[in-house]
Every structure is written in structure tokens, then in C-alpha cells.
Amino acid sequence: MPAPIKTAILGTGIALNHLHWPLLGSLPDMFEVTTVMERKMAGVAKSVCGDKIDVVATLDEVLANKAVELVVVTTSDKTHFDYCKRSLRAGKHVFSEKPLTYSSVESEELEKLAREAGKILGVFQCRRWDGDYLTVKRLIESNTLGPICSYEVFYDFYRPADVVLEGANNTTTEVHWKDDPAQNGGGIYATGTHIIDQVWCLFGFPEKILGRVWGVRGHGVDDCFDCYFMYPARPGSIVPLFVRATTNWISPLDPQPKFVIKASKGGFVKHYEDDQWFALDRGEVNSPSYGTEPETKWGTATLVQPDGSFKNEKIPTERGDYRQVYRELAESIWANDPSKNTVQVSVVIEVLKIIELSLRSAKENRWLIKGVDY
């Protein structure tokens, strides 16, 4: 195995403490985090990563370090394009939190720049390794429910104004950059980049798009969205496929819904959020149970019987594993082969185009139709 990839992380927010540091630390044969960029130099980096970490205040200091091979961008969304672009131009491999950018055109520019520089550009679309999504994917691919006609995915919270999630404890009261409309493109770029990415992976680009966005927490950010996508009938069906992807930040439901699927021979309902975020927060990334879900949280399939009656059965949740994103990143860097990444930047760009069309639909208050509007 090649030497671990010397890595710098930009940013000391939630993503450092609760995602990237524990994930990278769980793969010591693949990555060695040597540097953290902490713009305010408040001591957060060393408190999270330890005293051996080199802490710097600027990106220029990171890029001047010839030993750094990979730059992981976890700063606020609006900084992603500039930081990724500068890092690629400095000859570094780059791995960005989602969204890669707020613009498909900017992401295309980064993809081209990475290709010309001969460097790997990756995006942290970790929700492709959610156990519930992998379960839904298996049900669809195995045709267990028959051809599906309706797919709904929810990413809801109960998080009123001035409450920002810090790890598993929903107690912070300070206003976060995500609640600042000058810095945040809205919920569709936050959770939407995950669940619309899942939609693309299952079904591709929609034939019709209808989007709705609105804010509920009084900060001027459109933190909620409700997107509807139409696709041709699936093989074996005459019914067009209806897809819904939605987030509501004021959803006082317990447990929160996640997936509702309806098909010709049955349906599937799944509640509860994938536990990996919270397991990482608890320091359990190396636990044998990491990525698993107890039977009490499994989803329920309703299967149509030959006599027309219904039979309910629990469906075991597939094991999720966010570490796979980083495993593939290491393999792609060592081989200098972007095809080793399941998450292709070309697909990330497609998802951004769907988001842009959804926002256009919301603004124009109408369905957008493939071949007519895009």
C-alpha cells in the first residue's frame, strides 16, 4: 500500500469535529492529517485534532506547504469555489464538502481545472452510503415491490429559529452562517444536494420539474424546499414515475419520515435518520456496530398477496458506511484515476442543474419540461 496521503483540512466547524476528522482518523493507512486551517485561531483545531497538528490561519499557508497532497474543504459553502480553485491551481488534490459550488457552471470550471492539472477532485456525497438509502436501492433494483410509481424522500427536522445542530445536542443558540442569507443558498443546497443526488442515482435526470422553496425560521433563508420530478413509466409499468424530495425545518414528528415508496406489488415506509452522524459524534466510528441499525428502526414493506390482501414485513436496513467515500478517494489519488470514485463530479454537476431548474421553477411558479424549458 502506498504511503498515507498528507492532508490539510480547511475549517473548524461542525464538519471537522463530527465528520471529517473522525472519518479520516479511522483510516490511518490511507490519510495523515497534518494541517488544519483555522481562520480565527481560537484553539479549536488543536482541541479537536490534538497538539501535533500544524494550525495555520490562511489558505496561502496551506498551499505553500509542499508536503500537503490533499486539501479537504469544509468551510462555509460560498468559499468552496474559490478554495477549490486555488488549491487545484497550486497542484493539490481537492475534496470538498457538498455543495461543491452554488453554480453548475462553477463546478464545470473546477472539473475542467482538475482534469487539466491531472489532480483528483472529489465531493463528500456521503448520503449515498446511508443504510436506509442502500436499502431502498436494493428494493428497487431487486424489483421486490414491482415497478415503482411513487418515490418520496424526506429530510426533515424540528429546529426552530436560532437553534443550530452541534453534534447530537440540539442546544446552541447563536446564529450560524447557515442562517445568514448572504452566505447560505438555502436548504435545497444543504440537504437537497444529498437527497436529490440520491434521486439522480436511482432515476437520472427528470423529464418534468416543479420546485417550491420557502423559509420558516425568520432569518431570510429559504431553508425549506419541496421538489417534484416526473419520469417515464418504469419497465413493466404504464404509470409515470412520480418523485418527491423535500425538507422542512419545522417538522414536529417523532420519528421523522424518511422514505415512502409505492409500487405495483407493494410499498415501503421508512422512518428515522441514519445513525452514522451520531455514531461519529459518540466516537464509535471503529465500533463493530458502526453503520448498523437496530431492528426497532427497520422500515416496513407492505406486499400485495395473490388474493389481494396485504402482508407487512420488516425489512433489515443495509449497513451504511461513510468511510467508503474516503477509501475510494485514497484509491483514486494513489492511482491518479478519478473513475475509482463512485461520486463522479459530472453527476454532482447534473444534480446542481436539477437544483437550478427547481429554483427557476419556484420563481416562475410552473412546471419545467425537458425539451421545452431545458
183 pLDDT above the threshold of 90:
no
Residue 325 lies in a domain: no
Sheet containing strand 121-124, strands side by side: 54-56, 31-37, 5-10, 70-73, 93-97, 121-124
What integer pLDDT is reported at residue 106 of this predicted model? 99
Contact 59, 9 (CB under 8 A): no
Candidates 258, 158, 172; CA nearest to 217 is 158
Q: Do both 63 and 177 map to the same domain?
A: no
Query: Going by DSSP bridges, is the β-strand pair 169-172/93-97 parallel, antiparallel, or unpaired?
Result: unpaired
Can you tell me the distance from the alpha carbon of 338 to that of 208, in angstroms, rounded to the nearest whole number?
A: 31
Q: Do both 101 and 227 map to the same domain?
A: no
Average pLDDT on 154-160 reads: 93
**CB atoms closer than 10 angstroms to residue 338:** 20
DSSP 78: G
Query: pLDDT tens-digit profile of 313-328?
Result: 999 999 999 999 999 9
Residue 342 lies in a domain: no
Q: Do both 137 and 279 map to the same domain?
A: yes
Q: What is the pLDDT confidence band of residue 162, given thresholds at 50, 70 and 90? A: low
Residue 373 lies in a domain: no
What is the phi/psi pair of residue 274, to 5°? -55, 140
- Greatest pairwise CA separation for the chain in angstroms: 71
Q: Do both 167 and 77 map to the same domain?
A: no
Residue 328 lies in a domain: no
What integer pLDDT is reported at residue 177 of this predicted model? 66
SS3 state of residue 323: helix
Q: Do both 63 and 86 map to the same domain?
A: yes
* C-alpha dist (Å) from residue 148 to 99, 210, 228, 266, 306: 29, 20, 16, 9, 18
Q: Do both 92 and 49 map to the same domain?
A: yes
What integer pLDDT is reported at residue 175 of this predicted model? 56
Query: pLDDT tens-digit profile of 238-254?
Result: 999 999 999 999 999 99
Can you tell me the distance from the alpha carbon of 122 to that of 338, in angstroms, rounded to the nearest whole number?
A: 8
Which of 124, 151, 178 terminates a domain? The answer is 124
Q: Do both 39 and 159 map to the same domain?
A: no
Domain boundaries, position 85: 5-124
CATH number for the domain that contains residue 243: 3.30.360.10
Average pLDDT on 98-124 reads: 99
Residue 248 lies in a domain: yes
159 pLDDT above the threshold of 90:
no
Q: Do both 257 and 292 map to the same domain?
A: yes
* C-alpha dist (Å) from residue 120 to 91, 95, 97, 123, 345: 10, 8, 14, 10, 10
Candidates 33, 32, 10; CA nearest to 79 is 10
What integer pLDDT is reported at residue 181 of this predicted model? 74
Residue 204 lies in a domain: yes
Number of domains in the chain: 2
Q: Do both 199 and 301 map to the same domain?
A: yes
Q: Do both 240 and 148 map to the same domain?
A: yes
28 pLDDT above the threshold of 50:
yes
Q: Do both 65 and 193 map to the same domain?
A: no
Angle between helix 345-364 and helix 104-117 axes, rounded to 10 deg? 170
182 pLDDT above the threshold of 50:
yes
Query: pLDDT tens-digit profile of 163-180?
Result: 544 444 444 445 566 677
Query: pLDDT tens-digit profile of 270-325?
Result: 999 999 999 999 999 999 999 999 999 999 999 999 999 999 999 999 999 999 99
Residue 280 lies in a domain: yes
Query: pLDDT tens-digit profile of 200-213?
Result: 999 999 999 999 99
CATH number for the domain that contains residue 13: 3.40.50.720
Q: Do both 157 and 178 map to the same domain?
A: yes
Query: Going by DSSP bridges, is the β-strand pair 224-231/241-247 parallel, antiparallel, or unpaired?
Result: antiparallel
Residue 216 lies in a domain: yes
Which of 99, 124, 149 terminates a domain? The answer is 124
